[in-house]
Amino acid sequence: MSEIFELCQEVNTLLMEHKEQKARDKLIELLDSINNIEKTKYGHLINHLIRESGLYPYIDTQNCTWEDKFIHEAFKVDVGYDNFITLHREQSLLLKQLLNGEDIVVSAPTSFGKSFIIDAFISIKKPDNIMIIVPTISLTDETRRRIFRKFSNEYKIITTSDAELDKKNIFIFTQERALSYIDKLENIDILIIDEFYKIAAEFTDERVPSLYKAISELKGISKQKYFLAPNIRKINDSPITANMKFINKLDFNTVILQENDLYLEIKSEQDKANKLIEILNMKNSKGEYKKALVYAGQYTEINKVSDLLVSKLPIAGNTLLNDFSDWVKRNYYSGWELPWLIERGVGIHNGQLHRSLAQIQIKLFEEKEGLNTIVSTSSIIEGVNTEAENIVIWRNKNGQKNLNDLTYKNIIGRGGRMFKYFIGKVYLLEKPPKESDIQLSINFPDGLLGNYDESDIPDSLSLNQKNKNNSIRKDIINIIGIEKYNDIFKGNLLQTIDNGIALKILESLRDDNDWNGFSYLNSDNPDAWGRLLYKIIRLRLGSKWPSKPSHIIKFIKILSQNWKKTIPELLKELDGYDIDIKLFFKLERIISYKLSSLLNDVNILYNACNKGKVDVSPFIYKISNAFLPRVVYQLEEYGLPRMISKILSNRNIIKLDDEKDQDIYKILMKFENIGFDNIVKQVNFSPIEEYILKFFFEGITFNKSSPIKERFSVQP
C-alpha cells in the first residue's frame, strides 16, 4: 500500500507541475497495478486524481466522495437506446462543440472513444439525416452493427445504394456508395467522415478521387460536418476543410502503450519465429492466454506466419473452435490453413475474405473462450474496432511499401482497452518507421480533372491541372457531345471516377470496331462472354489483375454457378487454373466490386458513343452480386454466410432466391418476424451454425417499439 501512496504522490506532483500527460500515463499504470490485485478498491485519493486527470469514466462510484460521484454522473450521456456512459473530459468538450453546431476535424488516439461522441450527438440532437462515410465495406459492417442496436427504433439504417428513404435516416456508406445518393438528398444534418486521412494520396490508393468528390459534393448540402482522423498533427489548408476547426486531441489517452524493441535481440528468422511463439504463449494472472493481434503486413507473410503457428501451437481442445474449424473445412476448403489455425485459437483477417467469415472470427476473438490471436494485414485497422492486450509487429511493410508512421500508430493503437487492458503491450519483431509529426496534405486528385467547365474550375488547381482539365473535357465532348457529357460527368453516373480512364474507354469505343457483340454479355450461355470480358479486363491492365485474363474469364464462367454449387465444388472445377481458396476470395471480391464498376462505366459510355442501344445492366447486376441472389449477397454484410442462407431458402423458411422480393429491409423484417428460436426448431442446425445464426440475429434485431419495424412489417 505504501507503493500505491508513493505513486499517487508522484501523479499529484506531475499535476501540480501542469505535466498532465505524464501524470495521466503514470495514473493509468497505477490503475493497471491495482486492477491486478484482487478486490482492491481505488480509494478517495485515487478517485480524486482520476477526476483531476479528466478520466471520469474510471471513477469508482462505490468508493468515492460525493464530489467525485457528482462529476461521474454529470458527464454521463445517452449514447443510444437508453445506454448511458460517462464521457471523459475531452470527449465531453468535443461533444459540446458539435452540439453547438460547429464544423470540426478532430485527430485523436484510437482509444479516445470517437464513436461514442457520434452516438451521443445522434441521441441528444436527433437529426433527421446523418451520413457516415467509412473507408471500407468491413467498417460499414462494424458501424452498422453498432448503430443498428442503438438507433433502429428511430431511424432507417441504410447501407445499400438502392434503398428508399424514410423520414429519419442514417446512411453508412463507403464513398462510392455515397456518391449514388447525392441527387436523392436535399440536405444532410451532419456529414461524418471516418478515417478522414485517407483523402491524402500518400496514405491511400486509387480511391482518393471518389472520396474527394463525395466530400466536395455532399458538404454543400450538409448543415454540419465532423471529420475524424487518428494521429494527425496538422492539416494543411484545403477547400475540403475550409472554415472547419481542427482539434488535436492526440495527447489525451485513456490507455497507454508499452513498446518492446525485440528486433534488437533478433539475429535470424528462427529467432523471430521463436519470439512470436513466446509472445502468443503468454498468459495472464488467471492462466488465460492473452489476446493478441499479429500484424503481418503482406499476404505472403500471413502464409508464413500461418505455417509457423500450425506447426508450433498446440490444438486448443476447445469445442466451439473445433466445431467452427470443421464447419470451415466443409464449407470452404479442408486444405486451407485457416481451419487448422482456428483449432489452435488463431484467426485470419484480411480484406479478401467473405465478410461474414471475417465478422464471425472477430466475434470469436472477443469471446473469452474463443480465438486468442488474429493474424492480419492492415485490414484490422480499416475494418474492425477491436482491441487486444498484445500487438505484435511481425513485418514492417504495408503491402509492397514500407510501413509509414501513421499506419504504424494506427496498428499499435489497437493495443489496450478501457477497464480491460489499461496497458497495451507492443512487441516489435522488426524496426518500426521513424516517428514524425504527421501532416495531412489534401491535394486535388488528377482523376477528377475533366469534370469542370472553365467557369467553375476550382481556384486550388495548378495551371497545369487547369489545362489538363480543359483538355480532357474537350476530348470527351468531342466524342459524346456536351449534352451527354453533362448527363454523365456532372450527374455522377460513373463509378470508377477517374476521368482520364473514362476518356481512354471512350477512345477505345470510338476507334476499335471489335466492340460488336456487346450484348452477348446478357447471354445465359457463359461461353458467349469471353471475348467482351477480355476487352474490358484489358482496359485496366494497369490495375494489376491478380491472375491471367484467361484465368479470370474462366473463373467468372465457373462462378456463374455460385448459387447452385458449393465453394468446394467450384474449387474443384477451377483446379488447373492456379486458383486456390485464397485467390477465389480475391477474384470474387474484385469481380463484384472492381469489374462490375468498370463494366457499369463501359455500359454507360458505350451507349453515349451511339454504338447502339445496348444495356448490359442484367449482367452487371449478376457479377456485382457474385452471381448470388442479391439479398443473399447483402446478408453476408450482416454476418449470415451464403451456406446458411441456402439452407433457409431451400427449406422455404425464407425464400431468398425470388427475384421479385429483393428488398433487404423487408427480408430482415421476415427474419425478425420468424425469430431465431422458430428457425432453429425447423432446421437441424449444428451447434456452430446456431452460434453463427444467433450472431446474425444480434446484429439485425429491432427495438420492439420501433416505428421502423411497423413500417417494414411483413408476414413471414
On whether both 347 and 304 belong to a single domain, the answer is yes
* 131-138: average pLDDT: 87
Given a cut of 80, whether residue 330 has pLDDT beyond it is: yes
Query: Same structural domain for residues 148 and 264?
Result: no
DSSP state of 189: S
* pLDDT value of position 712: 37
- Give the domain range for residue 286: 260-439
The verdict on residue 79 lying in a domain is no
Does residue 453 lie within any of the structural domains? no
- Same domain, yes or no, for 609 and 662? no
Full DSSP string of 578-614? T--HHHHHHHHHIIIIIIHHHHHHHHHHHHHTTS-S-
Q: Is residue 454 part of a domain?
A: no
Domain tally for the chain? 5
With a cut of 50, say whether residue 369 has pLDDT above it: yes
Q: 17 and 163 in one domain?
A: no
Q: Over the stretch 114-123, which tens digit does the pLDDT of each residue have?
A: 888 999 999 9
Q: Which of 597, 624, 651 is the last residue before a domain boundary?
A: 624
Q: pLDDT digits over 486-504, tens only?
A: 999 888 888 877 888 899 9
Distance CA 33, CA 27 (A): 10
Indicate if the alpha-carbon torsion angle 552, 553, 554, 557 is positive or negative: positive
Question: Can you tell me the distance from the alpha carbon of 692 to that of 356, in angstroms, rounded to the nearest whole number?
Answer: 9
- Spatial contact of 63 and 50, defined as CB atoms under 8 Å apart: no
pLDDT of residue 384: 62
* Other Cβ atoms within 10 Å of 573 Cβ, number: 16
For residues 282 and 389, state if they share a domain.
yes
The reply to whether 413 and 477 lie within a common domain is no
pLDDT tens for each residue of 636-663: 989 999 999 999 999 999 999 887 767 8
In this structure, is residue 451 part of a structural domain? no
Residues 265 and 197 in one domain: no
Please answer whether residues 685 and 132 qualify as being in contact, where contact means their C-beta atoms are separated by less than 8 angstroms: no
- Read off the pTM: 0.91
Torsion of CA 289, 290, 296, 300, to 10 degrees: 10
Instruction: Name, in order, each residue with C-beta under 8 angstroms of 646's C-beta and a sequence gap of 6 or more.
Output: 563, 632, 656
C-alpha cell at 670: 421476415
For residue 398, give the CATH number of its domain: 3.40.50.300
Tell whether 283 is covered by a domain.
yes
* In a shared domain, residues 505 and 388: no
- Asked if residue 455 belongs to a domain, the reply is no
The residue among 619 and 515 whose pLDDT is bigger is 619
* Percent of the chain scoring above 90 in pLDDT: 60
